[in-house]
Structure 1
Amino acid sequence: MEQSPGSGQGPQDSGLPGCYRHPDRETGIRCTRCERPICPECMISASVGFQCPGCVREGSGTGHAPSANQPRTIAGGTVAADPRLLTKILIGINAAVFIAVLATDDRLVRDLSLIGQFWDYFGAPLQGVAEGQWYRLVTSMFLHQEIWHLGFNMLGLWWLGGPLEAALGRARYLSLYLISGLAGSALTYLIAAPNQPSLGASGAVFGLMGATAVLMRRLNYDLRPVLVLLALNLLFTFTWSGIAWEAHVGGLVAGTAIAYAMVHAPRDRRALVQYGVCGLVLLAVVVVVVVRTSQLV
């Protein structure tokens, strides 16, 4: 179901050059010093535009940029040695939880899935977010019951998450992922509650999809691949039975809004704008959960 935004299209297809360090990655951005084409992983924020790793090393004279001019991503994050580390960790957590689900005969699904309110045989509220189990909004994001569900979500996380982690930096990328997932959980709780269970990383993955579109637009990439990917996933969302469309839509809206702030924030107030928008989206999530809980209890 999920596929790479850049699959099936190389630099020759769109007319854009390939990154000089990663020739298979087309890009519309060039180093402001040497003018060689560079992809998001190679972009290092400079006083004007972006520079490539080679020019930064040459400019420092030692092979390492001075602390005052620490290499930065397009969003202002620190350039990491392993740009996919958090993505690998997130995939590992999802896989570990899935193994635990199999080992406990689905008992974890009952204990950790997102459910607004569940009644006992006498009609009394028994468990759920409305009963104070807010942790379900988070735990359900890492919970999968079927191998195909886990596989599709983890493929999407790997293909979309790696480039975003490299372009945004770890802290911003993790904020994007978690808040997108929470927004998906909150919208599901608002609409599908009280007693319809929901689980999976799809909300967070849809947030990454929206963020990918924003990033590609910011870098003047060809948007057609990611728009086709998004359209196909939305088609599956609304035509397949048993899919929590609320999580997909909530994650997509939140991820798009956060990513726009990440890559368009003014340089002099970048962190304030970026984390301010993250805080506003998180506040909206809390308000939705509180309001829905007040309706159920």
Structure 2
Amino acid sequence: MFKDTLLQWAGGKSFNNMQGKEWYRLLTGSFFHQNILHLLGNAYGIYFVGVILENKIGSWNFLAIYLIGNIAAYIVYAIFSNYTEGTGASPGIYALIACIIILHLYNKEFLNLQFGNWPVNYTFAYLLLGNFYGMGAFIVHILGFSFGTIITLIFLFLNVVI
């Protein structure tokens, strides 16, 4: 009961359910999760992505890509779907994974990625396995990845990263 009330108040990014000034749901829903497995998967995801990327691009760029990836993905998805149970940080994590891939392709020495260590192995597994959580998750992951790609390319163009 409490969980449902809390999710209804702070999560659930459907524009159909939002009242006039409840725009904060597009941000707060990223901090709510469906269950402990969902929370742990995203916690490890953000940790290992951070180990790979944060010291290379800086905390503020990392945060910007993460937040924009989450919020933009949920806005686009909410426009086209009644996304009442929208929770989780995964679109932002997928945005950061897009940044990792683009920066690695742009300059292999800047991000030297090799399988065989936990951060790279977990991030790759997260990238693949996270899409089996349902069609809604698959779509917001693609949206997060897309926005991460756009943001990273803008950052490269403006010489914000590398």
Q: Which of 234, 237, 256 does residue 149 from structure 2 map onto?
A: 256
Residue identity opposite 1:177 in structure 2 = Y
Q: Is the 8 A contact 2:29 2:86 kept in 1?
A: yes
Note the C-alpha offset of 1:105. Answer: 3.8
Match runs of 1:21-32 below 5 Å: none
Alpha-carbon deviations, 1:18-47, whole Å to 9, x = none? xxxxxxxxxxxxxxxxxxxxxxxxxxxxxx
Aligned mates of 2:126, 2:56 — CA distance in 1: 25
Q: What residue in structure 1 maps to residue 91 of structure 2?
A: 203
* 2:45–2:123 contact (8 Å) kept in structure 1: no
Quote the residue 2:53 is aligned against.
164
Q: 1:241 to 1:258 in 2, by over 3 A?
A: closer
Percent identity between the two aligned chains: 26
| 2:104 aligned with 1:216 | yes
Tell me the residue number matched to 2:18: 128
1:224 is displaced (CA, Å) by 7.7
Shift of 1:252: 0.5
Q: 1:261-287, CA deviations, whole angstroms, 9 ceiling, x for partnerless residues?
A: 33x33xxx535xx8xxxxxxxxxxxxx
- Contact 2:62 / 2:96 at 8 angstroms: preserved in 1? no
Name which structure has the greater RCO, CA cutoff 8 Å, separation 6+.
2
Aligned to 1:112: 10
Aligned match of 1:270: 159
1:247 corresponds to: 140
Runs (4+) off by over 2 Å? 104-107, 221-226, 228-236, 239-246
Q: Tell me the TM-score normalised to structure 2 length.
A: 0.78
Aligned residue-pair number: 154
Equivalent residues in 2 for 1:286-297 (5 A)? none
Give the aligned partner of residue 44 of structure 2: 155
- Counterparts in 2 of 1:240 and 1:188: CA distance versus 1, 3 Å: same
C-alpha separation between the residues in 2 aligned to 1:169 and 1:236?
26
In our comparison, the structure showing a higher alpha carbon Rg is: 1
TM-score with structure 1 setting the length:
0.45
TM-superposed CA distance for 1:151, in Å, is 0.4
Task: Map residues 165-184 of structure 1 onto 2, 5 A cutoff.
Answer: 165-184=54-73
Determine if contact 2:49/2:123 at 8 Å carries over to the other structure. Answer: no
The answer for unaligned runs of 5 or more in structure 2 is: none
Q: Which letter maps to 1:143?
A: F
Shift of the alpha carbon at 1:244? 2.5
Work out whether residues 116 and 189 of structure 1, in 8 Å CA contact, stay in contact via their aligned partners in 2: yes
The structure in which a higher percent of residues are helix is 2
Contact 1:183–1:247 under 8 Å retained in 2? no
Deviation, 1:242, is 6.4
Name stretches of at least 5 consecutive residues in structure 1 with no aligned partner.
1-101, 118-126, 275-297
Note if contact 2:45-2:126 (Cα within 8 Å) is conserved in structure 1. no
